[in-house]
Amino acid sequence: MFFLRTLLSGVIPRAVTGRPSSTLASSAATVEAERTIRDGPRNDWSRDEINSIYDSPILDLLFHGAQVHRQSHKFREVQQCTLLSIKTGGCSEDCSYCPQSSRQKKEAGSTRFCMGAAWRDTIGRKTNFNQILEYVKEIRAMGMEVCCTLGMIEKQQAEELKQAGLTAYNHNLDTSREYYPNIITTRSYDERLKTLEHVRDAGISICSGGIIGLGESQEDRVGLLHTLATLPTHPESVPINALVAVKGTPLQDQKPVEIWEMIRMIATARIIMPKAMVRLSAGRVRFSMPEQALCFMAGANSIFTGEKLLTTPNNDYDADQSMFTILGLTPKAPSFAGSETPVEPETSKEAVSSFG
């Protein structure tokens, strides 16, 4: 009984360790998660602080990511999003022969419809842009959240998207500022940040994250998270993508991302941006259900559904439905500005019983 009490109190007797009895040193994940729960979100993170969290023991990251998640969100809820190319989808009609109908995606459980276009920017695309505004209005009228990813946009376009009812705008930073030139040279990091500024100023929620597995270092992953966590307002959604190496591209021979790397990114993002939806995004198809369960425990609460994400494969509908059933997950209902209800924090007893 004495031994059990000492374990629960965090004190290990000399006979067990060979060292004088002392309270176990707390990891950065422990310290910062407790501070996040106590004080709420902050935007003045240093790189060193984030790096220390990222470097914490993986079990600490899992546990404390889960603690912050349960404090800030309904922990069983997972947002289901659909991402389709505007060139091949985005229509609000309900033709039964077309799997890309937004109505069918809603019936399949999706609550956020994301429209993507392989554009650098929207300059010279007035007709296409006006059509997108119509798509946004029609899909929003169906009771779905609407997100777009159209490349760089200007202030006026952001305001027009807001007026049309756009919920969120996706514009990923991809990686750190330092590593960015190794991946993309046709647009600058500051141009990406400027687009996020236009979106934020228009009152549209920001969806912005990155990709791991590009050949970047740990410092680059920390740098990406630092940029996101020190924006004037944390992104509403933070997609964490694992590179899906495509044959014929410069990154075709990159080593696949391991689940532990995803857990470190997800848990760190959850601790430093507690209110954000952390999306287990591209590359999820490579992870087993138990591995995805660890990601949800670490703080992920959003996924993309559907068998394809623009040009890369994704988990099929039946597999996701089976996962939701087995893991006891529930689909998150759509939420719009002013309609969200605060999350009641769990007591320690509730949290322990939930893990059981």
pTM (predicted TM-score): 0.83
What would the pLDDT profile of 17-58 be if each residue is shown by its tens digit?
A: 343 333 457 999 999 999 999 999 999 999 999 999 999 999
Q: Which domains does the chain have, with CATH numbers?
A: 47-334+350-354 (3.20.20.70)
pLDDT tops 70 at residue 346:
no
- Our answer to whether residue 207 is catalytic in this structure is yes
DSSP secondary structure letters along 93-106: ---TT-TT-HHHHH
- Our answer to whether residue 147 is catalytic in this structure is yes
Please report the pLDDT score of residue 82 as a whole number: 84
Largest CA distance in the chain: 76
From the list 14, 35, 95, 120, the catalytic residue is: 95
Question: Which helix (H) or strand (E) segment is 280 a member of?
Answer: strand 277-280
- Our answer to whether residue 98 is catalytic in this structure is yes
- Our answer to whether residue 95 is catalytic in this structure is yes
* Percent above pLDDT 70 for the chain: 79
- Our answer to whether residue 295 is catalytic in this structure is no
What would the pLDDT profile of 53-64 be if each residue is shown by its tens digit?
A: 999 999 999 999
DSSP secondary structure letters along 55-79: TS-HHHHHHHHHHHHHHHS-TTEEE
- Our answer to whether residue 91 is catalytic in this structure is yes
Listed in sequence order, the residues at least 6 apart from 231 whose beta carbon sits closer than 8 Å to its beta carbon are 43, 196, 200, 206
d(CA 306, CA 87) in angstroms, rounded, equals: 17
Return the residue matching tokens 């159209």. 150
Give whole-number Cα distances, 11 to 20, 23, 208, 352, in Å.
10, 5, 42, 21
